[in-house]
Amino acid sequence: MSLLAVVAATAVQTMLTPAVYTSSSKIYLRATTPASATNNNQVATYAISAGDLGTYLEVLTSPSVMDPLRTRLGLPAGFPLSVSGEVSQTSNMMTITATGGDPQLVARVATEAGPVLADVAKKFSPLLASNGQAVEADTIVPASVPADPTSPNAKRNLMLGALLGLALGVGLALLRHTLDTKVRTEEDIKALSKRPILGDIPMVKSVKNGLLSLESDPHGRHAESIRRLRTNILFVDVTTGGHSFVVTSSVPGEGKTTTTINLALAMADAGSKVLLIDGDLRNPSVASTMGLDGSFGLTTLLLGQADADDVIQRWRETTLHVLPAGPVPPNPSELLGSEPMEVLFGKLSHDYDFILVDSPPVVPVIDAVLINKLTHGLIMVVGAERTKKRDLASAVQSLETVDAPVAGFALNMVSAGSSTAHRYGYYGYTRDADVKPSRRAKRSQAKHHS
């Protein structure tokens, strides 16, 4: 775009710039003595000194030459004329150049300037004047009418405009790359890690009944993307040999909790007995998001104040079970890394087909690493156009340092117009899941049901 803009601006500027034409003539200056002043009654010719030639060059643009030149050309007094000259270093040759907006006029000016200069030249050479000598100008190369303007040079300007536009485009691209600090596409994630991208989850603003799209809009784009993520995680499950994952993010606000809950619902829809654990003991939100009682939960079990069967809550009539975080403790990291936590998780792993643990973000705290030691893989949720590249890079590096690499990424909050969303698309009934029916369609449906 910058290339086209600069070229277009250059073309417009070139068209608006007045054309300037140039014409030149080359003359030979010589001093002559009239025949009446010589002994043999013949005209004598003499070379003009270099000093006189320099004087004539300076006189060329003075009123002494310009005024009679205007008169000869029939121009009004004070009419602007642009004339310049150049003297040869080896001979009495002088090149006279005229420029202007009229090609016919500049040719006449370049032609007549030489003779006019010769007419007044002897006034500026006292030696020639005292000897009764005159100066004559012989035209060696006559001036011609220019066919094309010398300025503006359209071809050159467009070429320079193209080069400038190209340089500007490259510069803007580099500047944007430098200043663009957020993760926007899958390519940004691939630049930071070689681990697979398990799915992209679109930003859906049409969910009316809360954040659980698997419940409120089961045939919508968001729900379909969650199912695709579930399928891809099952492939990771095969490679890791386990049936439990911790879901985290690099920083808060990337939608990890909503993604984890919907993913657990999708797992349960597939027929598995699923346990969703809120392992974020610092800022628990699973219970509040799902409308469950969060006053007791994981911390209650770790303190030995209740049995698992009394604390774990079944989600409606599904095979999904939820273990809320419980009361917020003063020492979350110590509890998550404790022996009771390891024993509890081992027992739960035998009771459920699949376990998902929602954990705090990686950059602020170490909790996700502690939970990952109990599970068989870590899923990193990345908020498109929200997560900063440096935060994601820091999280990935921290996990690799403690030998807890990411099993896969889920790019969340992908805008509908992004290339990622268009590349994957949606098939069948899901294409129209978010499309509101027209009034005519509503009336037709009402008549049909009546």
CA–CA distance, 304 with 197 (Å, rounded to integer): 39
What pTM was computed for the model?
Answer: 0.60
Per-residue pLDDT in tens (0 to 9) along the chain, 450 residues: 666 776 677 667 766 677 889 999 998 888 887 655 555 555 566 677 778 888 888 888 899 999 999 999 999 998 999 999 998 888 888 899 999 989 999 999 999 998 998 888 878 877 666 667 788 888 889 999 998 888 776 677 667 767 777 777 777 766 666 666 899 999 999 999 999 999 999 986 644 445 788 888 888 899 999 999 999 998 887 765 668 999 999 999 999 999 999 999 999 999 999 999 999 999 999 999 999 999 999 999 999 999 999 999 999 999 999 999 999 999 999 999 999 999 999 999 999 999 999 999 999 999 999 999 999 899 999 999 899 999 999 999 999 999 988 999 999 999 876 555 444 444 433 333 333 343 333 444 444 334
| Range 183-449 has CATH code 2.60.120.10 | no
Contact 7, 151 (CB under 8 A): no
Question: What length does the chain have?
Answer: 450
May I ask the CATH architecture of the domain 18-141? 2-Layer Sandwich (3.30)
Residues ≥6 apart with Cβ < 8 Å to 124: 52, 55, 56, 59, 64
Would you state the structure tokens that stand for residue 143, as one six-digit string? 């001036």
For the chain, give every domain's residue range. 18-141, 183-449
